[in-house]
Amino acid sequence: MELKFARVEIDAKPKKVDLAKIEAAVEKEESVIFYFDRDNSHKDLLELQDHFEAQGKSFYMSEVKYGLADNDYMYQIHIMN
């Protein structure tokens, strides 16, 4: 599974990350917050949630609006051991 981190610049392309790197960050810290781009499919994010909940981790996902337009949002993911 490959996801895209939130854009740093509005006109920039989002950086891609794979599941192994996300897992490594979660194992390193007790609590990790990631910001993912709106280009990610909701289905992929729900698969990510299922993956970490199957490991016994807490997973919280929300949409964060940063502008007035409908497409000015990102996903905030909080994973805790």
Say which range, 7-11, 64-68, 71-75, has the weakest mean pLDDT.
Answer: 7-11
d(CA 9, CA 27): 29
Region for residue 56 given its phi and psi (left: phi exceeds 0; alpha: psi -120 to 50; beta: otherwise): left
Which residue segment(s) compose the domain that 69 sits in?
2-80
User: How many domains does the structure of the chain reveal?
Assistant: 1
The pLDDT value recorded for residue 10 is 81
pLDDT in tens, 4-61: 999 988 889 999 999 999 999 999 999 999 999 999 999 999 999 999 999 999 999 9
Average pLDDT estimate for 60-66: 95
What is the DSSP annotation of 15-40? PEEEHHHHHHHHHHSSEEEEEE-TTS
User: What is the reported pLDDT for 11?
Assistant: 87
What single-letter DSSP state applies at residue 41? Answer: -
